[in-house]
């Protein structure tokens, strides 16, 4: 099977207007994969051996491509499975967005699969330095809502590692099969609830006001 997905121009999917750098910031891409590809990926995830799942509070996860060492914060690499690097070749599709041009490998080399039941979520958090300079997330199985915002009181130390710290804006985008890409920015992610009501909001990319009911969702 060969994927016919388009090569996305990040400038068409920037969540801030005007974008401060064509490859830096948040990028929201709806329908990044097809419904058929979503079903295929979900099948691969759910057919993984049970020991592959790590059960945590309010979620469970799988590691693909290796794990981050707790002490050093570096990736201990392992080969990625075929369903990530062949059909539908999510890794190559993300690479073609050019969001990872400033990363060491110029593309994603590691995948975390997080599964949340309806009403589950995690507390506000920042991804560690191992995830610099770009992170791409893909939602499967249900609508996903993520609150992303810049961090106002970052130290000067941080700005040496991140191209820009952004403040005062958020992304609230309910969608199936969406991709969210952050590149060259320091951000914090906030949790969401079982029911999400999304008003249009100043400073955020505008989406229609909708209410969606959560199902089990996979966020990788």
The string of pLDDT tens digits covering residues 193-203 is 333 333 333 33
Torsion sign across C-alpha atoms 159, 26, 121, 172: positive
67/108 same-domain check = yes
In a domain, 119, yes or no: yes
Average pLDDT over residues 82-99: 86
Q: Quote the number of domains for the chain.
A: 2
Q: How far apart are CA 133 and CA 161, in angstroms?
A: 9
Residue with tokens 């920015």, as numbered in its chain = 185
**Phi, psi at 133, each rounded to 5°:** -105, 0
Domain that holds residue 106: 32-142
pLDDT value of residue 49: 93
Quick one: 138 and 159 in the same domain?
Answer: no
Q: What is the pLDDT of residue 56?
A: 84
Task: Please indicate, yes or no, if residue 17 is contained in any of the structural domains.
Answer: no
Q: What is the mean pLDDT of the chain?
A: 66
Domain stops at, among 142, 167, 193: 142
| Residue 43 confidence (pLDDT) | 94
Percent pLDDT > 70 in the chain is 48
Asked whether residue 9 is assigned to any structural domain, the reply reads no
Is there a cis peptide before residue 146, judged by omega within 30 degrees of 0? no
Residues 174 and 129 placed together within one structural domain of the fold? no
Instruction: Provide CB contacts within 8 A for 214, sequence distance 6+.
Output: 118, 119, 142, 143, 194, 195, 196
Rounded-to-integer distance, Cα 19 and Cα 185, Å = 12
* Residues 3-50 pLDDT 10s: 444 445 555 554 444 343 445 667 777 788 888 998 999 999 999 999
119, exposed or middle or buried, with CB in 10 Å at 0-12, 13-18, 19+? exposed
For residues 138 and 38, membership in a common domain is answered with yes
Q: Please state the φ and ψ torsions of residue 37, each to the nearest 5 degrees.
A: -65, -35
Do 192 and 106 reside in the same domain of the chain?
A: no
Per the domain annotation, does 94 fall within a domain?
A: yes
Residue 210 confidence (pLDDT) above 70: no
Question: Is residue 67 domain-shared with residue 138, that is, in the same domain?
Answer: yes
In the DSSP assignment, the letter for residue 24 is B
In a domain, 15, yes or no: no
Relative to beta strand 66-68, strand 185-190 is: unpaired
In Å, how far are 21, 120, 129, 141, 159 from 56, measured between CA atoms?
A: 37, 11, 22, 20, 32
- Does residue 23 form part of some domain? no
Answer yes or no: do 201 and 135 share one domain.
no
With a cut of 90, say whether residue 142 has pLDDT above it: no
Percent of the chain with pLDDT over 90: 10
The average pLDDT across 164-189 equals 49
Cα-trace Rg, the chain: 17
pTM for the model stands at 0.66
Residues 134 and 165 in one domain: no
Distance between CA atoms of 66 and 59, rounded to whole angstroms?
A: 19
| 187 and 101 both lie in a single domain | no
Cα end-to-end distance, the chain, whole Å: 22
> Does residue 62 or residue 72 have the better pLDDT?
62
User: Are 83 and 48 in the same domain?
Assistant: yes
For residue 25, tell me if it sits in a domain: no
Six-digit token pair at 190?
């906030």
Task: Say what the pLDDT of residue 11 is.
Answer: 52
Residue that finishes a domain, picked among 107, 142, 177: 142
Examine the domain organization and report whether 167 and 138 are in the same domain: no
Q: What is the pLDDT of residue 32?
A: 84
Count Cβ atoms below 10 Å from residue 185 Cβ, excluding itself.
21
Last residue of a domain, one of 91, 110, 142: 142
- Separation between Cα atoms, residue 114 and residue 68, nearest integer Å: 15
Instruction: Output 95 or 24, whichever has higher pLDDT.
Output: 95
Which tens digits make up the pLDDT trace of 154-171? 444 433 333 333 333 444
> Same structural domain for residues 129 and 175?
no
The residue among 97, 102, 103 whose CA lies nearest residue 138 is: 97
pLDDT band at 178 (very low <50, low <70, confident <90, very high): low
Interval 143-157: pLDDT, tens: 766 655 555 544 444
Stretch 58-77: mean pLDDT, rounded?
A: 83
- Tell me, yes or no, whether 93 lies in a domain: yes
Dihedral, CA of residue 50, residue 215, residue 170 and residue 158, to nearest 10: -10
């Amino acid at each position: 099977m060969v994927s016919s997905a388009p090569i996305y121009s990040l400038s068409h999917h920037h969540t801030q207007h005007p974008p401060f750098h064509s490859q830096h910031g948040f990028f929201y891409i709806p329908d990044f994969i097809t419904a058929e590809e979503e079903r295929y990926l979900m099948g691969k995830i759910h057919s993984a051996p049970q020991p592959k799942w790590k059960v945590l509070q309010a979620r469970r996860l799988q590691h693909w491509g290796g794990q981050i060492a707790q002490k050093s914060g570096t990736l201990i690499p392992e080969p990625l499975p075929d369903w990530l690097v062949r059909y539908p070749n999510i890794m190559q599709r993300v690479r073609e967005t050019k969001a990872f041009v400033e990363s060491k490998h110029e593309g994603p080399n590691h995948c975390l699969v997080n599964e949340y039941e309806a009403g589950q979520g995690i507390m506000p958090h920042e991804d560690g330095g191992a995830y610099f300079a770009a992170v791409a997330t893909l939602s499967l199985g249900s609508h996903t809502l993520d609150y992303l915002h810049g961090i106002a009181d970052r130290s000067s130390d941080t700005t040496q590692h991140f191209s820009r710290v952004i403040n005062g804006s958020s992304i609230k985008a309910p969608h199936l099969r969406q991709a969210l890409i952050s590149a060259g920015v320091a951000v914090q992610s906030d949790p969401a609830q079982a029911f999400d009501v999304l008003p249009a909001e100043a400073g955020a990319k505008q989406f229609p006001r909708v209410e969606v009911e959560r199902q089990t969702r996979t966020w990788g």
